[in-house]
Chain A
Amino acid sequence: MKRSPAGAAKNLVSYLLLAGMLVFLLFPFYWTFVTSIKPESELYGKTVTYWPRKATFESYTRLFSDYNFIRPMTNSLIVAASTTLVSLTVSLLAAYSFSRFQFKGRKFLMTLFLTNNMFPTVLLLIPLYAIMRKLGILYTPFALILAYTTFTIPFSIWLLNGYLADLPPSLEEAAMVDGANRAQAFVRIVLPVLMPCIVATGAYVFMTSWNEYTFAVMFTNEANRTIPVSLKNLIGQLGVEWGMLTAGGIITIVPVCFMFFFAQKRLIEGLTAGAVKG
């Protein structure tokens, strides 16, 4: 890397750009936090305050003491983590097949998966509820895991297929020439290089199941409610529980960011793994 005044200026521009983006992306989060620690009288005050005159963390204590927010958080985590695991495994197999084999019906099947998500779920709710009931998994986490897996598989397949298609097949072919079979070549060569993309796709699946409301309200009861439903319970006919709602939002967001902080390290590891073997 050369260091020049032009390079420094370019660096500055990119950091300013990054800073600007972060302000746009993070300001609503900041505002959610500020709202969660403002007393209600200050929310509707004559002037908008950017930091509460009198900060209160009462909403956070209430959320856990009166509202037992740990439970929906655990439920959401179980559902989202299981969905991610199942959906990724199944999608990875299918995506590998689509990207590495040429077979009859390949394009048809790929297109079929894509059309799956073109249909608004609001129309499917009654029959879906009936199916979950017949399967005997209604009001258990399995109902949501099955529903979310179904609706994340198509996109996951497509995403993974896209990444796999960008990876040169020569990588594993070389390994196969060396005597490894297809499965070994996949696990040893493709999987490490693909890790960043698996993390990204996994994040997509996780977020989708973490934030979903429509299925969650139909397929769960109080024992296995997830976060979005619990949050929505705070909006009644007599107004919005601003404090608890925003506090709940913050508490929902922070652990996921924390998890991703560790997951994103894989984004770099994938690169080095690929560099060594490629």
Chain B
Amino acid sequence: MKKVFALAVVLSMIALAVAAAPKPVTITHWYWADNPKYSAVMKEMAADFNATNGKGITVVVQEYPWDGGGYSETLFRAAMGGGGPDTSSAKLTSTPLFVSNNLWENLDKYINRWKDKDQIDPALWKTMRDASRTKNVFLMPWTTQVLYVYYRPSMFKAAGISVPKNYAEFLDACAKLTKDTDGDGRTDVYGFGMRGFRGGHEPWGSFIQARGGTFADFTTAKAVAGMQDFIDLFKKGYVPPTAPMDGFNEIIANFKSGKTAMTVHHIGSSTGMIDTFGDDVDAFPFPGAEGKWTSMGDTENVMFRSSKNKDAAFEWLAYLAAGKGQITWCAATGNVPVSKAVQKLPQFQSSRFMKVSIEGAPFAGIYPVLDTTTEWISTIWPNTIAAALQGKISAAEAMKQLQTGLYK
């Protein structure tokens, strides 16, 4: 009898709870995972959100392969084919494609009534607006990463040099760190790990801008001079000969194996660096000369126009941008938080790599986000650079091709 009574109580409580809660809705969210750990963290965050949002929202996360950027195209094709998710992770560079095809929701009205909107730096909101070439925000900031130079203090010490304070010293360090350690006439350690394959445009941009060039016109004498520096590093053998095909995996592997003394990447790889080297790895912001620039990496979240539960979808985006999701994700991945309150948390202040990231933030920027940018990044840039490194075309010719490729 007791059991029946208890059951009745439980049932009526559930009934009450269901009646009180808003109509349950399900949100589908697509994302990619940069490694299996991130995949697990994403699933935990969704579970946490589902348990705590109190509004009957259930987020179902669907993982898709990053596929060297093919993620965006899969997402786009699904949305164009009438399907796709309610929300998804996205890159700034894909904004023109999705916005011009009316696939993403304009987030302005949701952001205006969002209590945490001031947690995001106004500059970041501006970047989001600029990317769409409208006055509207289509992307919710999630994380950023600032590129900087990783280096091996022990190798610097052995070469008798200190951390480069300017661009000339940096180029000089590339030369001095290149060594034939066992005296067999072959280079064993290269000064710099150059990324000539897809994704290499980010560190490359620092060379162009250090010389005073800009991305508005690649063909200026200053920009060409930066390109020439880049080619010279390769020609003189200060970078591995594999550079034209070296992507992320290769530059990190070369750095970790001690084959290169410096390389450019962001805080996302710092955990692995510390695992390998302990204290014998450090970083400095990419130095400048006439100009100074480093690339800001980014990941955002977006809402699709086809979503039937937009208010619920925004709750989830807000959770990721400034809620507990922001803390969990940035703590797990080591990325720079976009929420000011989260940035101030002690766990984000202690790392030496976070300090360098923040140091680089003032001169960190992005490439012009045009409808040609993704093609330029994935095929035009790597192939043009390879041709220039192999000596098939001159620096000036390469820059001309890059110019027409981006601004056609």
Binding site for B on A (CB under 8 A): 41, 43-46, 62, 66-67, 125-130, 133, 138, 217-218, 221-222, 229, 232-241, 244
Q: Given that A45-B257, A130-B82, A217-B67 are contacting pairs, would A234 and B36 also be in contact in the complex, using a CB cutoff of 8 Å?
A: yes
- The listed residue (A129, A130, A133, A240) touching B249 by CB distance below 8 A is A240
Q: Quick check: A129 and B65 within 8 Å, CB to CB?
A: no
Q: Does B6 contact A (CB under 8 A)?
A: no
A221 to B75, CA, bound (A): 12
A221 to B78, CA, bound (A): 12
| A224 vs chain B, min Cβ distance (A) | 11
Q: Quick check: B36 and A66 within 8 Å, CB to CB?
A: yes
B residues 145-178 in Cβ contact with A at 8 Å: none
| B45 vs chain A, min Cβ distance (A) | 16
B residues 249-287 in Cβ contact with A at 8 Å: 249, 252-254, 256-257, 268-269, 276
Q: Please, which residues of chain B bring their CB within 8 A of the CB of A138?
A: 83
A217 to B74, CA, bound (A): 8
Q: Quick check: A44 and B253 within 8 Å, CB to CB?
A: yes
A-B residue pairs in contact (CB < 8 Å), sample of 8: A44-B257, A129-B77, A129-B78, A233-B33, A233-B64, A235-B68, A236-B34, A241-B36
- Interface band, chain B: 20 to 34
Most buried by A among B38, B63, B77, B81: B81
Q: Quick check: B65 and A235 within 8 Å, CB to CB?
A: yes
- The listed residue (B39, B78, B253, B269) touching A218 by CB distance below 8 A is B78
Q: Quick check: B40 and A241 within 8 Å, CB to CB?
A: no
Q: Quick check: B40 and A133 within 8 Å, CB to CB?
A: no
Q: Please, which residues of chain B bring their CB within 8 A of the CB of A129?
A: 77-78, 80-83
Q: Does B52 contact A (CB under 8 A)?
A: no
A132 to B74, CA, bound (A): 15
- The listed residue (A130, A218, A238) touching B34 by CB distance below 8 A is A238
Taken residue by residue from 13 to 44, chain B's Cβ proximity to chain A (1 for < 8 Å, 0 otherwise) reads as 00000000000000000001111101110000
Binding site for A on B (CB under 8 A): 32-36, 38-40, 62-68, 70, 74, 77-78, 80-83, 248-249, 252-254, 256-257, 268-269, 276
A139 to B153, CA, bound (A): 51
Q: Quick check: B81 and A127 within 8 Å, CB to CB?
A: yes
A168 to B35, CA, bound (A): 57
Q: Quick check: B77 and A125 within 8 Å, CB to CB?
A: yes
Q: Please, which residues of chain A bring their CB within 8 A of the CB of B38?
A: 236
Q: Quick check: B77 and A237 within 8 Å, CB to CB?
A: no
Q: Quick check: B248 and A239 within 8 Å, CB to CB?
A: yes
A233 to B38, CA, bound (A): 11
A133 to B77, CA, bound (A): 12
A41 to B276, CA, bound (A): 9
Q: Please, which residues of chain B bring their CB within 8 A of the CB of A221?
A: 62
Q: Quick check: B65 and A241 within 8 Å, CB to CB?
A: no
Extra 4 A-B pairs, beta carbons < 8 Å, given A217-B74, A234-B36, A236-B66: A44-B257, A236-B34, A237-B32, A244-B36
A189 to B129, CA, bound (A): 72
Q: Please, which residues of chain B bring their CB within 8 A of the CB of A218?
A: 74, 77-78
Closest to A67 in B: B36
A229 to B83, CA, bound (A): 19
- The listed residue (B34, B62, B256, B276) touching A237 by CB distance below 8 A is B34
Q: Given that A129-B78, A130-B81, A240-B249 are contacting pairs, would A217 and B65 also be in contact in the complex, using a CB cutoff of 8 Å?
A: yes
Q: Please, which residues of chain A bring their CB within 8 A of the CB of B39?
A: 233
Closest to B67 in A: A232
A237 to B232, CA, bound (A): 28
Q: Please, which residues of chain A bring their CB within 8 A of the CB of B74?
A: 217-218
A240 to B249, CA, bound (A): 7
Q: Please, which residues of chain A bring their CB within 8 A of the CB of B257?
A: 44-46
Q: Please, which residues of chain A bring their CB within 8 A of the CB of B67?
A: 217, 232, 235
Q: Please, which residues of chain A bring their CB within 8 A of the CB of B249?
A: 239-240
Q: Quick check: A236 and B32 within 8 Å, CB to CB?
A: yes
Q: Given that A232-B67, A233-B65 are contacting pairs, would A126 and B35 also be in contact in the complex, using a CB cutoff of 8 Å?
A: no
Most buried by A among B38, B40, B253: B253
Q: Please, which residues of chain B bring their CB within 8 A of the CB of A234?
A: 36
Q: Quick check: B81 and A237 within 8 Å, CB to CB?
A: no
A217 to B276, CA, bound (A): 34
Q: Quick check: A229 and B81 within 8 Å, CB to CB?
A: no
Q: Quick check: A222 and B63 within 8 Å, CB to CB?
A: yes
A232 to B66, CA, bound (A): 8
Q: Please, which residues of chain B bring their CB within 8 A of the CB of A126?
A: 77, 80-81
- The listed residue (B35, B62, B83, B256) touching A236 by CB distance below 8 A is B35
Closest to A225 in B: B63
Q: Quick check: A229 and B82 within 8 Å, CB to CB?
A: no
Q: Please, which residues of chain B bring their CB within 8 A of the CB of A236?
A: 32-35, 38, 66
Q: Given that A44-B253, A239-B252 are contacting pairs, would A66 and B40 also be in contact in the complex, using a CB cutoff of 8 Å?
A: yes
Closest to B182 in A: A46
Q: Please, which residues of chain A bring their CB within 8 A of the CB of B248?
A: 237-239
Q: Quick check: A222 and B62 within 8 Å, CB to CB?
A: yes
Q: Please, which residues of chain B bring their CB within 8 A of the CB of A128?
A: 81
A127 to B63, CA, bound (A): 23
A46 to B68, CA, bound (A): 28
| B148 vs chain A, min Cβ distance (A) | 16
Q: Quick check: B35 and A239 within 8 Å, CB to CB?
A: yes
A130 to B80, CA, bound (A): 8
A222 to B29, CA, bound (A): 12
Q: Quick check: B62 and A232 within 8 Å, CB to CB?
A: no
| B304 vs chain A, min Cβ distance (A) | 15
| A264 vs chain B, min Cβ distance (A) | 33
Q: Quick check: A241 and B62 within 8 Å, CB to CB?
A: no
A44 to B39, CA, bound (A): 25
